[in-house]
Amino acid sequence: MYRHAYRVSLALACALVAGCGGRAADNPLVRESFDSGDTYTRDVDATPAQACEAARRALLGQGYAITRAGADSVEANKNFQPKEELHEQLVLRVSCAAHGNSGAQVFASAVQDRYALKKSPTSASVGVGALGSVSLPFGSNDDSLVRVASSTVQDPVFYRNFFERLRQYLAPSAAAPGDAAR
């Protein structure tokens, strides 16, 4: 009898540990691996200021609005409206840091925010002397955009295309016209 209770307790403990492990693996924070992949970073043969200027130009060339730009960082956004009541915004942040003797590392991270149009009915109150106030629905709606989702873009092709475009602006052939005459 004692052995049977011990085995049942041991089996329950193993099932409990396995069940907890399964739930933790479903958590996106736990799945973050910090592996050696280079999805979000590239090395370039330029100074950090040159790399960030190339990033700024690459973003401008693709229709992004620059919200912040400096010698070591750029932030830009682009808006989309795939459906009438759905709005999406893509925010791309780029940081440029010195790497080695004459190069830079460029880090990029994009966040996609999704907004939905939410309608809320409104009514008006009218004060009537002897009756007090009466609420009357007038059928008008207040529309507002509400963020319904936000996630970091993890598509390697998106970042590969961005970094390829950035390198085009760093290429020697992209130098200013006055530089070629010298």
Write down the pLDDT at residue 60. Answer: 97
Q: Quickly state the pLDDT bin for 114 (edges 50, 70, 90).
A: very high
Mean pLDDT of 25-47: 76
Write down the pLDDT at residue 139. Answer: 55
| Residues 6 or more apart in contact with residue 47 via CB below 8 angstroms | 98, 102, 104
Write down the pLDDT at residue 137. Answer: 57
Tell me how far apart the alpha carbons of residues 162 and 37 are, in angstroms, rounded to a whole number.
16
Q: Is the pTM of this model over 0.75?
A: no
Three-state SS for 129? coil
Three-state SS for 99? strand
Q: Quickly state the pLDDT bin for 105 (edges 50, 70, 90).
A: very high
Mean pLDDT of 23-40: 66
**Domains in the chain and their CATH numbers?**
42-174 (3.30.310.80)
